[in-house]
Structure 1
Amino acid sequence: MTALVTSTLRLGTRASALATTQSQLVADAITAATGASVELVLISTEGDRSSAAIQQLGGTGVFVAALREALLAGEVDLAVHSYKDLPTAPAPGLILAAVPAREDPRDVLVARDGLTLGELPAGSTVGTGAPRRAAQLRALGLGLEIVPIRGNVDTRMARVAEGDLDAVVLARAGLARLDRLAAVTETLDPLQVLPAPAQGALAVECRTSDSRTRELLGRLEHPVTRSCVVAERSVLAALEAGCSAPVAAYAEVAEGETGPELFLRASVTALDGGDSVRGSVTGPLTDASALGRALAADLLDRGAAELMVVPQ
């Protein structure tokens, strides 16, 4: 295929194995769709440099700010983010040019001896860095000891292999992209553990003024994924919660009486697992944002705000 651009596109990415793998997937998709060459530019973020818990670093945006600064400074032409890491507020001067097709958004268990969640004995240690996962796991009433952890996927799984933890809970999408699904002992049903808003989706950003890159990236757009993710993140935005709050949301597309429609579920769970509010709504894909706001309003009416407080 003849390239549509003469210069190589510079793609900014975090340096972790998952981030570079996700970014390379996007780079390869751009080349396949347009013929353009793409090179990865590694950028260190605050979230990568610190071992502190994400909420202690300020929560939302700790993996994003440095990439956006490089974009605005013209050091890179585009950046790839795990969509769930993005703040809900738009970034001036930047545009979300593409949302590619999403991976499976569910959470998974990686446990010793091939155990499932229900098979783990009471008192088993389960590692997660996400307040949402910790809250929902506690709410199941299985008597598990939830242990806060940081680190990349392999570091977390190694703690199980080495006997330091009985299990860890991770996003299935990351393991799929890293070819680590063989380690999964159970894919968790969303009825048990509802995913984070936008989990499994990628966000591809560029400068609003860069019309050439915007046009190229538009070839990667997956409209159904964007509708689902917009609905989920509208819940998060309307709740005024960051990505470290115990908020879950998951939208699926089902066939309705008049055509495809969104089925959106969301929940807010107290960090100790002692209380939660859940709800759902359905409607047209074109109303994704409004559906998310409506569901958030319902959750707030039922006491969600009091459940979102995460200790610093």
Structure 2
Amino acid sequence: MALRIGTRASALAMTQAGTVADMLGAELVPIVSEGDTSTASLASLGGTGVFAKALRDALSQGEVDAVVHSYKDLPTAPEPGLVIAAVPPRADARDALCARDGMTLDDLPDGARVGTGSPRRRAQLSRYRPDLELVDIRGNIDTRLGRVGHEDPERTLDAVVLAAAGLARIGRSDAATELFDLDRWPTAPAQGALAVEVREGDEHLVQHIDHHATRACADAERGVLARLEAGCAAPIAAMAFVDDGLLFLTARVYRADGGEMIDSSRAMPLEPAAPTELATLVGIDLIERGAARIAPLDPSAPAGPATPSRRRTP
């Protein structure tokens, strides 16, 4: 009997879970979550973790044998009785600007309308281009792209910011007019990575597709969130990579309006404990430098006034 892999029913989720199903010779079981049916903002629904609940419920109840998540959407707290047993090789972790007329972020006119539902992206955009009008948007990739240059003046946007990995997975990479460099524009912890979750004791079903370097990087990035006790919707970015046997980690914490940012970077030999230890060091450094002050545990809390600037580093 083939493994049953639970996934959200969106085109993107089905496509990315399909790559895992192909690796495992498994069949897909679409599952609809509250996040897929509600038009409310993610913040009001409780953050991106809302997408994981329906999948985890189905897994815990034995309706499927494993579930596939976008790793960046998972809460950092472990789910009782469940375990992340595999993290396949990571896709492109960068953010992509999808703008009308082929424009880059610097090309956009003053006051351009840019859509994003991510507090982290809003903070970075505000920091670099405080003149932009940022519009909170929801919906699948095609829905968001459809608002760029829309004929309805109430709905039209000059650009949207999306994950490059998501665009690639549904064959829409051509919509990107600029890819933001990770050194200047780090993204959400574990962006571009998938997490395959199973019930405790069933790890053997999927462990053979685990990619050691990807898992180490994703776990280090998410470890910063856990250390800061911040949710996956907080304005926090992280980037980790492996080079010459070392694990490198950089994390940035933004004030919600982009008016202030602090960062921290560390590296250590890539050993089993390295992701946790590195995340702890970076997290402690960020806390000591004021992370809790500029990015409160409640990511929807209002920030203080920004310092005006025409161009700044994200």
**TM-score over 0.5 for the pair:** yes
3-state secondary structure, aligned to 1:133: helix
Q: Deviations over 1:127-178 (max 9, x none)?
A: 0000000001101135211111000111001000425000000000111111
CA contact (8 A) 1:100 1:220 kept: yes
1:196 matched residue in structure 2:
188
Q: For 1:238-296, what per-residue CA distance to the aligned partner results, in whole angstroms no more than 9, with x for missing partners?
A: 000001100100101122xxxx1111111011111111111111112221111011101
CA apart distance, 1:44:
1.1
Aligned partner of 1:288 in structure 2 is: 275
1:69 is aligned, of 57, 61, 65, to 57
Aligned length: 293
Structure 2 residue 252 is matched with structure 1 residue 247: no
Q: Which amino acid aligns with 1:172?
A: A
When the two structures are superposed, what TM-score results if normalisation uses the length of structure 2? 0.91
- CA RMSD of the aligned region, Å? 1.2
1:29 and 2:23 equivalent? Answer: yes
Measured after TM superposition, the shift of residue 189 of structure 1 is 1.4
| Structure 1 counterpart of 2:249 | 264
Determine if the alignment matches structure 1 residue 182 to structure 2 residue 178.
Answer: no
Q: Which one-letter code corresponds to 1:262 in the other structure? A: L
Q: Hey, what does 2:72 align to over in structure 1?
A: 84
TM-superposed deviation, 1:216? 3.1
Report percent identity of matched pairs: 56
- The answer as to 2:123 corresponding to 1:135 is yes
SS of match in other structure, 1:109: strand
Aligned residue type for 1:14: R
Are 1:140 and 1:192, in contact at CA under 8 Å, matched by a contact in 2? no
Corresponding residue for 1:173?
165
Residue 12 (1) aligns with residue 1 (2): no
Give 1:194 shift.
1.2
- Asked if 1:158 is matched to 2:146, the reply is yes
**Is it true that 1:225 corresponds to 2:211 in the alignment?**
no
Deviation, 1:95, is 1.2
Alpha-carbon distance in structure 1 between the residues aligned to 2:280 and 2:48: 20
CA-to-partner distance for each residue in 1:76-107, whole Å, 9 max, x for gaps? 11100000011111111111111000001010
Listed one character per residue, the Cα deviations across residues 179-215 of structure 1 (whole Å, up to 9, x for unaligned) are 11011100011243210000000000111133xxx22
Once residues 248 and 276 of structure 1 are traced to their aligned partners in structure 2, the CA distance between those partners, rounded to angstroms, is: 11
Q: Is contact 1:83–1:201 with CA below 8 Å preserved after alignment?
A: yes
Which residue identity does 1:66 align to in structure 2? Answer: A
Q: Distance between the aligned counterparts of 1:143 and 1:284, measured in 2?
A: 42
Tell me whether 1:277 sits opposite 2:271 in the alignment: no
2:284 maps to which of 297, 303, 306: 297
| Alignment match of 2:44 (pick from 56, 59, 68) | 56
Tell me which moved more, 169-178 or 302-311: 302-311
CA distance in 2, matches of 1:283, 1:169: 33
TM superposition shift of 1:42 = 1.2
CA distance in 2, matches of 1:81, 1:126: 27
Structure 2 gap ranges (5+): 302-314
Distance change (3 Å), C-alpha of 1:285 and 1:266? same
TM (norm. structure 1) is 0.91
Find the aligned partners of 1:179 and 1:103 in 2 and give their Cα distance: 13
CA distance in 2: counterparts of 1:144 and 1:278, whole angstroms: 24
Give me the whole-angstrom Cα distance separating, in 1, the residues matched to 2:122 and 2:232: 14
Corresponding letter in the other structure for 1:179: G
CA distance in 2, matches of 1:171, 1:118: 19
Paired residue for 1:34? none
Q: Structure 1: which 5+ runs fail to align? A: 1-6, 32-37
Letter in 2 for 1:272: D
